[in-house]
């Protein structure tokens, strides 16, 4: 029998997962997994639990939570020579990563993917800043607006879901200032004032499904988006364009692919929606570093690049 470890955050999203746990265990048992669980107790705990799962040589680690929980689990797996496969049950508020790998946002649907889907090795991001190395699966970014993801209180997310982020975003808009930035990417250099920069691994960010429309999960490249200085009206217009994926040709935007990105200026770093310390720092794309379970059709699409 294969062994699976569920690492779940009881406070994620609308706090529903625990109620469904017995059903999840039965489904996994039927699919041939002997499964045990760990409920996280606070920030950082999912990373410790994932490291422990590596030591105990589990075949599969299932992260049940939002993007923050998946990020923590990946941080426990990424550094190790043996890395169990990763399954995802999206019960968070945003669930960008699940959307990007085609995992449905119902617990039953996600279990179905875990039991009948296929593993695909995908790229993950690695950033070195403040003498630490951290990993991300979705997005890293800097600039005042990216700070909104950790300024929304957990209670508000439980009550309002995604809407909580949009409300906070609108509240912050008038106070957004441009920041002086120096960004080196695959030998090129950008220097100037920016509203924000994003280093993305998937096309689905903050509920915007077309923010990085050309991104591939396994090409070894980030999609780098730099939003140059704009006034408030232009910025709002860019956000509207971004909802349709039409921002990438705008003159205020640099949109390109890169394997390495170095940010030389001081800035807060957002990693998969959580505070990731201060920049400067360097981002490296780790080619096909982690095997993740996804639906068969999605797996085929990712493998063939279609």
Ligand X SMILES: Nc1ncnc2c1ncn2[C@@H]1O[C@H](COP(=O)(O)OP(=O)(O)OP(=O)(O)O)[C@@H](O)[C@H]1O
Helix ranges, the chain (H)? 17-30, 45-55, 67-77, 96-100, 107-116, 148-151, 154-160, 163-172, 232-243, 296-304
We find the least distance from the C-beta atom of residue 151 to ligand X, in angstroms, to be 12
What's the per-residue H, E or C state across 226-252?
Answer: EEECCCHHHHHHHHHHHHCCCCCCCCC
Residues 119-158 as x/- pattern, contact with ligand X by CB under 6 A: -----------------------------------x--x-
In whole angstroms, what is the distance from residue 23 CA to residue 257 CA? 42
Which of 92, 206, 276, 295 is the binder for ligand X (CB under 6 A)? 92
Piece in contact with ligand X (CB under 6 A), picked from 89-97, 102-110, 177-185, 278-286: 89-97
Provide CB contacts within 8 A for 300, sequence distance 6+: 306
Binding residue count for ligand X, defined by CB under 6 A: 24
Which residues are tagged catalytic? 274
Interaction with ligand X in 7-26: which residues (CB under 6 A)?
9-13
Told to check if 202 binds ligand X by CB under 6 A, we report no
DSSP state of 184: E
Told to check if 41 binds ligand X by CB under 6 A, we report yes
Give 154 or 216: the residue with its C-beta nearer to ligand X.
154
Give 139 or 183: the residue with its C-beta nearer to ligand X.
139
Q: Is 93 helix (H, G, I), strand (E, B) or coil?
A: coil
Give 42 or 81: the residue with its C-beta nearer to ligand X.
42
Residue where the block lists tokens 């800097």: 142
Residue numbers of the site for ligand X (CB under 6 A)?
9-13, 40-43, 45, 65-69, 72, 92-95, 154, 157, 273-274
């Amino acid at each position: 029998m294969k062994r699976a470890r569920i690492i779940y955050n009881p406070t994620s999203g609308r706090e529903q997962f625990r109620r469904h746990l017995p059903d999840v265990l039965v489904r996994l048992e039927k699919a041939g997994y002997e499964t045990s669980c760990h409920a996280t107790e606070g920030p950082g705990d999912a990373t410790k639990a994932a490291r422990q799962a590596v030591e105990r040589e589990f075949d599969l680690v299932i992260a049940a939570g939002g993007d923050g929980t998946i990020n923590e689990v990946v941080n426990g797996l990424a550094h190790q020579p043996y890395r169990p496969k990763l399954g995802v049950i999206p019960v968070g508020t945003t669930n960008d990563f699940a959307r990007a790998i085609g995992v449905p946002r119902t617990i039953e649907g996600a279990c179905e993917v875990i039991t009948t889907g296929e593993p695909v090795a995908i790229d993950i991001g690695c950033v070195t800043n403040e003498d630490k190395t951290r990993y991300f699966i979705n997005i890293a970014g800097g600039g005042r607006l990216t700070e909104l993801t950790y300024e929304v209180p957990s209670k508000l997310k439980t009550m309002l879901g995604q809407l909580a982020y949009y409300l906070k975003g609108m509240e912050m808009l008038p106070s957004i200032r441009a920041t002086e930035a120096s960004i080196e990417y695959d030998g090129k250099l950008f220097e100037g004032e920016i509203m924000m920069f994003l280093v993305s691994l998937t096309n689905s960010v903050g509920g915007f499904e077309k923010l990085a429309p050309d991104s591939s999960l396994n090409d070894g490249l980030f999609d780098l988006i730099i939003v140059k200085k704009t006034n408030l009206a232009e910025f709002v217009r860019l956000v509207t364009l971004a909802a349709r994926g039409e921002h990438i040709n705008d003159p205020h935007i640099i949109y390109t692919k890169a394997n390495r990105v170095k940010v030389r200026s001081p800035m807060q770093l957002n990693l998969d929606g959580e505070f990731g310390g201060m920049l400067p720092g360097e981002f490296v794309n780790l080619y096909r570093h982690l095997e993740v379970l996804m639906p068969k059709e999605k797996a085929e699409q990712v493998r063939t690049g279609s």
